[in-house]
Structure 1
Amino acid sequence: MAVLDVTIVNVASPAVRSDLHTSGSVLQLIVAGYTVAYSTLLITGARAGDRFGHARVLAIGVLCFTLMSFICGMAPNSFFLVLARLLQGASAAFMVPQVMSLIQRTFEGHGRARAIGLYGAVIAIGAICGQIVGGLLVGANILHLVWRPIFLVNVPIGVALFALVLGFVPRRGGDSARSFDLIGVVCLMATVASFVIPLVFGPGLGWPVWSIVLLVLVVPLAVLSAWHERRASGRDPILSAEVVGARGFVWLLLFMVLMQSSYAGSLLAQALHFEAGLGLSALHTGLLFITGGVGFALGSLTWRRFPTWIHTYFMIGGMLIGAAGYVIMAWSLRTATDPASLYLTVNFGLSAAFGYGFGPILSMALSHVPLKFAGSASGVLVSTLQIGQLLGIAVYGSIYFALVHNTSAKESAGAFAHTLYWAALACVVGALAGLVFIRMIRVKEEARP
């Protein structure tokens, strides 16, 4: 549900604007407010799981998310919809990190690998289905509710999920010794917000001065946050050194940012070219993305069936195949032709390659973090994936729009091709970061007695 709600609203935004008579800026808050709240509170939500118990916080998060979805669907005006979307994103931030924490605490070995594979498949399916389901629900105009079913559809799903969490998720008490480190939480949230808010709202507003100021503030806020975390090292800081200071962890995060940003940015570039350049509908574009979702899900579900020694090569190979796939995709659509079988095949192949790399990277990240810090690690990893997605949308969206001065198919095709070339370069750099990470892990393992 959390992933689905990131994309499903995009399709319904014209209907929301027409029905509620909102301005462009308010509509942007409705669409992006969810993402801002979600990204900013992820690490705090992960710590809440450590403190009060992951199953308990997951159940509360699901319940609140379901309630906020109902309020979104019944919102009488734009004010209530914006407020409910912000609270919906906050609920997701307390819900999503618990999943990865529970995977790490509940499973080991092949069981953990299988659970991570399913996690990756669900993310892929949710991201792709958002646009398709949104288009179908708005087009069906169920009970003349127009856009409201895109939120109300979460209610029966959320109720069923809440019952499943209560009935089947192992209940372990939280660690009352874990604190919230209020100053650390505020510093971290300010750092993330200063980075996320400009990425979400800056491109659509033409990068106003305030967005640049916030981005500049990210560095001093990050330094302040790091200084506080170092001082609080003996008092359970919100970001423990055992997580972010683990050998190779920074290179791992760089790999994840480059992989996620290139993938999310390329999807945006494809959607912009298909809809604005070629005149395809949002539903048609969503249907074209199905092969990519299937490929990513396939890779996420089957990587563990291969010998363990090859898993690290999936990381590197996935990024390099992705880079080659972007180049081929750009070449195949360079003449402003409609997407054909070559596009569908390439989209399936590069998405599968990313799926084969996604599972091993999460598995290795969790395996090198002590179980006590499962929540912190989950929060950092999920936040990294979310920030990578926002970064990709902002950067690659800006590249595309900088090269498009009208909506002609030919010019859009050229901008699309150049955008994918940059995505390919990011994949190559990501592969190099992955090599450094693997090398550092091997050195650490060889040093063990």
Structure 2
Amino acid sequence: MTERDRSAGAAATSLWRHRGFRRYLAGQSASVAGSSITSAALPVLAVLRLDATTGQVAWLAFLGQLPPALLALHAGALADRYPKRRQMVTGDLVSAAALASVPLAGALGSLTLAHLMVVAVVRGAAGVLHDAAAISLLPQLVDRSLIQRGNSRTGALFAVAATAGSTIGAALTALLGPARALLGDVASYLVSACCTARIHTRETAPAPARKERMRTEIAEGLRYVRADHRLSVLTRVNAATSLALALLNTLWAVYLLRDLEVGSTVFGVVLGVGALGAAAGAWAAPALARRYGPGPMMLGALALAPLTQLPLLLASPGPAWQVTIGAALFLQLACAGAASTTQRSIRQLVTESGMQARMQAVSTCLTSGARPAGTLLAGGLGTWVGVRPALAVGAVLLVVPFLVLARSPLRHLRHMPEPDAPADSARHPQPAPSGRRQGSMNGGAV
């Protein structure tokens, strides 16, 4: 009997009694907290210590986002072939080793931007291997009827962990310096690997008979997503969102640290406040989806996203604007947390077990492919027309995913699909009449 079998009864009433879920949550939360430490410390290290230009910051972000775009499909196929926990642990250990080289080089006085770029590539490659397996492990770890609740709890706790990580990152940067602050992220990877190794659950992925089938399995994943209208719309919405956010996120730190004269400590606090919004949105997602319907709720979230950029574009140096920007970021990430949690649950519910990782990999490949394009666009626009006008372009691009969803029948989705609904049963969903519960045919993912 596996841990999932032993915990099934308890998990039916409380996921917190599910030992495997708790270990999964603890490990991934530690990793999220560590990544937030790096998010707070790395811009300070690059901009203030190594005097990186706007273009160099864009290249650093580009190189970190390139591996997911190139390797996501292969990582997903591997996760559907082999034990997911092994792939997760390997990714954690490789990331820890790569990141540990930064404070070591800093202590030796040999740290350069080129070194940071190499670390970004290695960490990005290891991260996509880990994430492809981690996201697809949850549907095997808990009963399918608990997927939405599990994603809600996971998203909320991840956001809290991100808040804590940003605060810790700001404190470590101030106390130890940005290079040695990264040791906190190194420790988080080791905690994640330890917790993941202690999860005991049956994994259904069979070992392939021939390794040359990798290309065939990747093609199966692409066809699977393209054939299901819900997954196809979701991928297009996510890719458009990623392009806009990549542009915004690449220049956001430069804009706050340099143009708005925000200190490293305040920068970390603002990141932490925003992460609290993500926690609130993820925790409230099931209730919001039940009250308004998943489609209208996500459509509203996408409509609000461009508006949350206005305070950033109008801001000038000073504490009042720092508070306003933090509040806007809270609202932006609350919308993102609610929408992200809901769409991930729908995708997992309508996808069969043996396709979970490849389904996620297709989305990751296209969304990750949009991010390097967004970072290069950010670097070019930031250099040629200035940072603030480039941020305005990013805000306008956030309208595109709203339009994609608004033109889709998924905007009418009123209920989550049934847990056991096969993806092949819903190629072209239609909106259900008002007041009637939709079945699996009318489910959708955004």
Same structural fold, with TM-score higher than 0.5 when normalized by the shorter chain: yes
**For residues 56 and 433 of structure 1, do their structure 2 counterparts lie closer, same or farther at Cα, with a shift above 3 Å needed?**
farther
Aligned to 2:255: 273
User: Is 1:47–1:180's contact at 8 Å kept on the other side of the alignment?
Assistant: no
Aligned to 1:55: 85
**For residues 434 and 13 of structure 1, do their structure 2 counterparts lie closer, same or farther at Cα, with a shift above 3 Å needed?**
farther
**Which AA in structure 2 matches 1:10?**
P
What SS does the corresponding residue of 2:308 show, helix, strand or coil? helix
**Which AA in structure 2 matches 1:274?**
L
CA distance in 2, matches of 1:330, 1:83: 31
Shift of 1:121: 3.8
**Which AA in structure 1 matches 2:429?**
I
User: Is 1:8–1:133's contact at 8 Å kept on the other side of the alignment?
Assistant: no
User: Is 1:274–1:285's contact at 8 Å kept on the other side of the alignment?
Assistant: yes
**For residues 277 and 65 of structure 1, do their structure 2 counterparts lie closer, same or farther at Cα, with a shift above 3 Å needed?**
closer
User: Is 1:298–1:355's contact at 8 Å kept on the other side of the alignment?
Assistant: yes
User: Out of 161, 169, 176, which is 2:192 matched to?
Assistant: 161
**Which AA in structure 2 matches 1:320?**
A
User: Is 1:137–1:147's contact at 8 Å kept on the other side of the alignment?
Assistant: yes
Shift of 1:249: 2.4
Please list, as runs of the form range in 1=range in 2, the aligned pairs for 1:316-327 lying within 5 A after superposition: 316-327=299-310
User: Is 2:304–2:332's contact at 8 Å kept on the other side of the alignment?
Assistant: yes
Q: Does 1:237 align with 2:225?
A: no
| Higher normalized contact order (CA 8 Å, seq sep 6+, divided by chain length) | 2
Shift of 1:373: 0.5
**For residues 24 and 340 of structure 1, do their structure 2 counterparts lie closer, same or farther at Cα, with a shift above 3 Å needed?**
closer
Shift of 1:96: 1.2
Shift of 1:47: 1.7
Q: Does 1:9 align with 2:39?
A: no
Percentage of pairs with the same residue? 12
User: Out of 137, 143, 165, which is 2:172 matched to?
Assistant: 137
Shift of 1:87: 2.8
CA distance in 2, matches of 1:384, 1:283: 34
Shift of 1:236: 6.6
**For residues 170 and 59 of structure 1, do their structure 2 counterparts lie closer, same or farther at Cα, with a shift above 3 Å needed?**
farther
Aligned to 1:418: 392
Shift of 1:315: 0.9
What SS does the corresponding residue of 1:300 show, helix, strand or coil? helix
User: Out of 423, 428, 434, which is 2:402 matched to?
Assistant: 428
- CA deviations on 1:175-220 (whole Å, 9 max, x unpaired) are 1127655784xxxxxxxxxxxxxxxxxxxxxxxxxxxxxxxxxxxx
User: Is 2:40–2:170's contact at 8 Å kept on the other side of the alignment?
Assistant: no
What SS does the corresponding residue of 2:182 show, helix, strand or coil? helix
Aligned to 1:246: 228
- CA deviations on 1:368-412 (whole Å, 9 max, x unpaired) are 2221101101222333443444444444565555433xxxxxxx6
User: Is 2:91–2:129's contact at 8 Å kept on the other side of the alignment?
Assistant: yes
CA distance in 2, matches of 1:264, 1:88: 18
User: Is 1:6–1:35's contact at 8 Å kept on the other side of the alignment?
Assistant: no
User: Is 1:323–1:424's contact at 8 Å kept on the other side of the alignment?
Assistant: yes
CA distance in 2, matches of 1:275, 1:161: 31
CA distance in 1, matches of 2:363, 2:200: 22
User: Is 1:249–1:437's contact at 8 Å kept on the other side of the alignment?
Assistant: no
Q: Which runs of 5+ in 2 are unaligned?
A: 1-30, 414-427, 432-438
Aligned to 2:132: 97
Aligned to 1:357: 339
User: Is 2:77–2:357's contact at 8 Å kept on the other side of the alignment?
Assistant: yes
Q: How many residues align?
A: 382
- Cα RMSD, aligned residues only: 3.9
Aligned to 1:297: 279
